[in-house]
Amino acid sequence: MARKVRIEEGLYGKIEKAAAAAGYPNVDEFVVHLLEKAVAGVGGGDDDAERVKERLRGLGYLS
């Protein structure tokens, strides 16, 4: 079941530009991805080390 979230017009415009620049097909997918990452970050726990490794790989420090 989909839910709606209200976003101020100015912020929506910025999100729209960021989504396009990041290659997302639409704002919805971009926002869902960001929210999934944010929620995962709040939980903490065992996957902290793995997230750090993924981030370092993404930045090119690990291969």
pTM, whole model, 2 decimals?
Answer: 0.63
Tens-digit pLDDT string for the chain (63 aa): 788 889 999 999 999 999 999 999 999 999 999 998 888 777 655 667 788 888 888 888 887
Phi and psi at residue 46, to the nearest 5°: -65, -30
Calpha distance 35→29 (Å, rounded): 10
* Residue 43: per-residue pLDDT: 65
Calpha distance 55→58 (Å, rounded): 5
